[in-house]
Copies of this chain bind each other. A is one copy, B any other.
Amino acid sequence: MKKIVIIGGGAAGPKTAAKAKRMNPENTVELYTDENLISYSACGLPYFIEGTVKNINQLIIRTPEDFEKQGINVFLEHKVEKIIPEKKCIIVNNKEISYDELVICTGAELIKPNIKNIDIDGVYYLKKIQDGIKIKEAIQEAKKVIIIGGGYIGIELIEAFVENGISVTLVENSDRMMKIFDSEFSDMIKNHILERDRQWVDMHFNQEVEEFFADERGKFIKLKTKSGLELEADFCVIAVGVRPNVALAKDAGIKIGITGGIETDSSMRTNIENIWAAGDCTEEHCLITKRPVYVALGTIANKEGRVAAINVTNCPKVCERFDGILGSAITKYFNYTIALTGMNAQTAAKIAQKHDLQPISATVVKKDKAGYMPDSENITIKLVADKKTGKLLGAQGVGTGDVNKRINTVTSALQSGLTVEEFLHLDLPYAPPYSSTIDILLTAAYRLDAQIKGKE
């Protein structure tokens, strides 16, 4: 019998708690969070704002009561103030709570850019359930919104606002949106959004916001950028990303990695005995670049929580390892899918010398189904590979057709280190409503193969 204490109620914390309790119901499992609910799908918030998800409660996966019923003690609105490793305890409300194993799942925190008057009313973020509710309320009266940040949340919010008849202005401080893609994909995404919804959507790049302005009641009315651009709107959403929330861990002497996330080994153990970490507060290992990387995603949090739970239960025996991630991600703008996995060509070029890579790529535009099927749609897929080893390094895709399937298919290939030569013979299931006879993935692989064999 041991006492497992978990800090954090996002994705990794509840997963760790539930799995650990299931593995050994004899163990005491306690979960502390400063929020008033746990285990919800933050990724669903844009669809709640849009109106696709009708009721905010649908986003709550399991209630605290569900956890209590399972025998897990959930402490809502209990802020953990300190971790004292040498005493194997945490401090909550000035009280010492002891642990045998501690799992830190403190998640991510919002990045707040350096903008004057950032804390006025009418400036929102999108991270917690309450944020979603606030924005949903705000759009009832709004005609025009500004979004700062052209990443996933930015795109999903443009959709949500346009769907509700609200004009959107996107302000991005770099020269393009969706920067985890190669730049021509950023352009395709931008062009698609503007072509579909030019009357609703306006975009400004290379614009760093300097100052917000409020009306006499203290509510946002406009912003000004460093280059002097002034933009008015009913409210503003800041979506410039998150960073690992590691203050508590750092303070306890837990090692922080170069990405800013808590460093763990593949068992999710930190550098301090009996202290583990999982989810958005940790740094990941990228299987493709072989480098540390920070990715805040519910899927990864779940996987890490599962591994942490197995290992804290069996500790000191390590029974499960999480070797790393591919950096897969997907989103959509209405019916236009935007997805990638592994390395893009620009990253590959950047690290080529250091990693002894010779990156090559092939981009194919092709129908997602047999061309004669009336609902077939053009999609664009780019595969990246290493000419030296022949190994696939990554895939990017966009389009109104089935991009999703293609990127998912490449994940397995990356996970196992398939070469282009192996991949191009892949026996993909074929029927006219699902694919062309030679699938776009294989066409791209043939082109890479020709480059590898020096025929192109």
Chain A: residues with CB nearer than 8 A to chain B? 11, 41, 43-44, 47, 52-54, 58-59, 152, 287, 297-300, 302-303, 306, 322-323, 325-332, 337, 339-341, 370-374, 402, 404-413, 415-418, 422-423, 425-434, 437-439, 446
Interchain CB contact under 8 A, A427 and B326? yes
CA of A439 to CA of B297, assembled, Å: 14
Interchain CB contact under 8 A, B405 and A47? no
Q: With A43-B370, A53-B372, A373-B53 in contact, do A429 and B415 touch (Cβ < 8 Å)?
A: no
Question: Copies of this chain, how many?
Answer: 2
Interchain CB contact under 8 A, A425 and B303? yes
A49 to chain B, nearest CB (A): 12
A115 to chain B, nearest CB (A): 28
Chain B positions within 8 Å of A372 at CB level: 41, 44, 47, 53, 58-59
Interchain CB contact under 8 A, A408 and B422? no
Interchain CB contact under 8 A, A437 and B11? yes
Interchain CB contact under 8 A, A437 and B328? no
A9 to chain B, nearest CB (A): 15
Would you list 21 pairs from A and B whose C-beta atoms are within 8 A, ordered by A residue? A41-B372, A41-B432, A43-B430, A44-B372, A47-B373, A52-B373, A58-B371, A299-B437, A322-B425, A325-B427, A329-B429, A329-B431, A331-B431, A340-B429, A405-B408, A409-B411, A411-B427, A415-B418, A415-B423, A415-B426, A416-B422
Identify 9 new A-B residue pairs, CB closer than 8 A, beyond the known A402-B405, A404-B429: A44-B372, A299-B428, A325-B427, A328-B427, A332-B434, A402-B404, A409-B409, A411-B427, A411-B428
Interchain CB contact under 8 A, A425 and B323? yes
List the B residue with the shortest CB-CB distance to A446: B306
CA of A402 to CA of B423, assembled, Å: 23
Chain B positions within 8 Å of A302 at CB level: 437-438
Contact among B41, B322, B417, B425 with A370 in the assembled complex (CB-CB below 8 Å) = B41
List the B residue with the shortest CB-CB distance to A430: B299
Interchain CB contact under 8 A, B423 and A412? yes
**Most chain B CB neighbours (cut-off 10 Å) among A59, A415, A423, A425:** A425
Chain B positions within 8 Å of A406 at CB level: 408
CA of A437 to CA of B41, assembled, Å: 9
Contact among B325, B339, B373, B412 with A409 in the assembled complex (CB-CB below 8 Å) = B412
Interchain CB contact under 8 A, A298 and B437? yes
Chain B positions within 8 Å of A299 at CB level: 427-428, 430, 437-439
CA of A404 to CA of B433, assembled, Å: 10
CA of A302 to CA of B437, assembled, Å: 8
Chain B positions within 8 Å of A412 at CB level: 409-413, 416, 418, 423, 426
Chain B positions within 8 Å of A58 at CB level: 371-372
A328 to chain B, nearest CB (A): 4
List the B residue with the shortest CB-CB distance to A58: B372
A340 to chain B, nearest CB (A): 7
Contact among B47, B59, B339, B428 with A429 in the assembled complex (CB-CB below 8 Å) = B339
Pairs A-B, 9 closest by C-beta atoms: A412-B412, A416-B416, A330-B429, A58-B372, A328-B429, A326-B427, A405-B405, A299-B430, A412-B413
Interchain CB contact under 8 A, A427 and B41? no
Chain B positions within 8 Å of A426 at CB level: 411-412, 415
A174 to chain B, nearest CB (A): 22
